[in-house]
Amino acid sequence: MACVEAPLLTSVLSEVTAASRHYVDRLFHHDPQHVLQGVVDMKNAVIGNNKQKANLIVLGAVPRLLYLLQQKESSLELRTECAIVLGSLAMGTQNNIKSLLDCQAVPALLQGLLHPDLAFIKACLGCLRTILTSPVTSVELLYTTPEHQTFLFSNGAVPTIAPLLASPIYKVRIEALKCFAVLTYENPQVSLALVDVVVEGEGDLLPQVFVRMMRRDEPIEMQLTAAKCLTYMCRAGALRPDDVVIVLKTLPCLVRMCSKERLLEERVEGAETLAYLIEMDIELQRLASITDQLIPTLADYFKYPTPVSPIADIKRLDHDLKHSHELRQAAFKLYAALGANDEDIRKKVIETESMMDQIVTGLGDPILKVQLAAVRCLHSLSRSVQQLRTSFQDHAVWKPLMKLLQKVPDEVLMVASSTLCNLLLEFSPSKEPILESGAVDLLCDLTQSENAALRVNGVWALMNMAFQAEQKVKTDILQKLGSEQLLRLLSDSDITVMMKTLGLLRNLLSTKPHIDWIMSGHGKQIMQIVSLTLEGAQDPEVTEQTLCIVANIADGTLAKELIMSHTDVLQKMKFYLTHSNVKLQIAATLCVSNLAWHEEEGALERQARLRDLGFVEILQQLSQTGDPSLADKVKTALQQFP
């Protein structure tokens, strides 16, 4: 029987599809009038007909309608009719809404709100309303850019929504609260404006209303959303991190959300929001670390999710099992934020049961989000000499980290290479095996990235690698990086790249034998670099680093003569000795001191030359300085001269 029915079913389907296809085909007609009529006919065909709506979506009507809606060449009438049809399609099933979202209908419709024609705006709003009130739509989608946030704010969103916070209906209050959360996210203008808003009906300032909504007797969703609003306002600079609203209300509320009693999604959101709140402030990190046993509580995030009640809700259990990775990544994120700056907190985090094992497992997790969060956590913990020497060594974390650096998205590469910068420090036992795994090649490649942040990490890691390194490491770096790339990095548009490259050069040029060896091979180029940088430097930090490089070169036995033969560099040294910036004066003094050092061969001739150039006189004047560091350096320098 199935064999007989199937062809009949196929035949019926193909009839329906053919009819629907005709509607879609008409949207591509060359004559705009035909197109307009096609859209109007489509509008009439879909009213109350979910099947037709579904067919048209499958056949690709949505992208074409959106295209026509956004085209400036389209007539106003056509654009309006397209918006109406889209609105009608949205009133079908949830799958329809998902399709519209996938086609990026929301941003296109939002743009429509900027049009002067009221009918068009109304049509766009109607469709937006249907999409945004659907349970499948995430509210954050509404505000994809700061411009959208500012647009809504400038058009009176705040005075319109604020009174809704006093509504007797919970659903209205919570939706209004969610609006404030998306309005304030990373928007200083909006956040600052909210600080002084008085909520009619509540008779109180907006932040205080948010605080009341975080009370324990309020629904969890309300507590969490209110905490988000205050978190975003704080991060946007509208509330200080030491404000009582943050310290005594928001932070403890978010810590509560991490408790085992909460649902999975509440724990995830609580942890992520808390991480965002504290990640830039060491005092908040310290406070969070001692609030309600947060650090051991987070360890539970890695455990098999247990049902909230013994009478297991099978659906809930199934859901939690499918989303356990969300808990893991949230825990890693929060641990990363907690351990970002404080050594005591890092120790507590590492001492948490199986922490390093969890991180190593996380680094190899198939889900990118978990991988990224795990490497963030590792990065925070890598800022500790003690951890580098102990737990990082015991668990050989360098292995999964090096694996992670192969073929990953930039987002992960960014954090992984930041971690590598620390693992390559001289006091890290992982440095050797990492070098043997081809780190120099990897980092030299990274310095060529189009992404400035990756270039920064490439050269930062090389700088740290070169710190007190053996000659063979320095040779490897110079050979693989090449002098051309070095020059390119020194004129990079990103100043951090430039600074770290100067740091790298400084490290290559340290300890006498290395200085002489490098200057004998690359001296001419390096002096050119130094001279050009001192000539063109706008930033005092760049100048300071360059003078430190000159001072290092001046420590070389043979290399001293290279400086002595460069009049322009000597003139720059003189100039900076009398500069208003004390740090530059100190660096320049060190240059003179090294050049004149009495124990070195040829010292007398160099001292005579420097005296002739007026250096001694300047130093004698400088010895009256009130700055103790400078005075000390000047004294040492003068002592070199007979």
Partner 1 sequence: MAPPLKRTRGRLASRAPFRGSPVRKRSPVTQMDERLSPPTPPRLVLQEFPVLTTFFDGEIISKSRPFLTRKWDADEDVDRKHWGKFPAFYHYSNTFNSDDFDYEELKESDFVFMRWKEHFLVPDHKIKDINGASFAGFYYICFQKSAASIEGFYYHRSSEWFQSLTLNHVPEHSVPIYEFR
Residue ranges that bind partner 1, judged by CB under 8 A: 279-280, 336-337, 340-341, 376, 379-380, 383, 385-386, 389-390, 393, 414-415, 418-419, 421-422, 425-427, 429, 457, 460-461, 463-464, 466-468, 503, 506-507, 509-512, 515, 548, 551-552, 554-556, 593-594, 597, 628-629, 632, 636
- Specify the residue, 74 or 510, whose C-beta has the smaller distance to partner 1: 510
DSSP percent split of the chain into helix, strand, coil, nearest 5: 75, 0, 25
65, 102 Cβ separation under 8 angstroms: no
- Specify the residue, 82 or 559, whose C-beta has the smaller distance to partner 1: 559
Q: Which two tokens stand for residue 371?
A: 């991988």
- Specify the residue, 90 or 413, whose C-beta has the smaller distance to partner 1: 413
Among all chains, which residue has been given the structure tokens 């020497």? 389
- Specify the residue, 291 or 511, whose C-beta has the smaller distance to partner 1: 511
Closest CB 93 distance from partner 1, rounded Å: 42
Closest CB 425 distance from partner 1, rounded Å: 6
- Specify the residue, 427 or 575, whose C-beta has the smaller distance to partner 1: 427
- Specify the residue, 36 or 295, whose C-beta has the smaller distance to partner 1: 295
- Specify the residue, 320 or 555, whose C-beta has the smaller distance to partner 1: 555
Burial-class residue 414 by CB neighbours within 10 Å (0-12, 13-18, 19+): buried
Neighbours of 564 (CB within 10 A): 17
- What's the CA gap between 43 and 46, in Å, rounded? 6
Closest CB 372 distance from partner 1, rounded Å: 12
Closest CB 153 distance from partner 1, rounded Å: 28
Closest CB 353 distance from partner 1, rounded Å: 20
Closest CA to 149 of 101, 191, 117: 191
- Specify the residue, 74 or 585, whose C-beta has the smaller distance to partner 1: 585
Chain center to CA of 348: 25
Q: Which two tokens stand for residue 59?
A: 């056949």
CA neighbours within 13 Å on the CB side: how many for 514? 19
- What's the CA gap between 572 and 593, in Å, rounded? 15
- Specify the residue, 265 or 627, whose C-beta has the smaller distance to partner 1: 627
Closest CB 594 distance from partner 1, rounded Å: 5
* Residue-level length of the chain: 642
Using CA atoms, how far residue 224 sits from 18, 251, 539, 580, in Å, is: 50, 11, 45, 52
569, 563 Cβ separation under 8 angstroms: yes
Among all chains, which residue has been given the structure tokens 């609203």? 245
Closest CB 465 distance from partner 1, rounded Å: 9
Closest CB 618 distance from partner 1, rounded Å: 21
- What's the CA gap between 410 and 225, in Å, rounded? 31
Closest CB 216 distance from partner 1, rounded Å: 31
Burial-class residue 309 by CB neighbours within 10 Å (0-12, 13-18, 19+): exposed
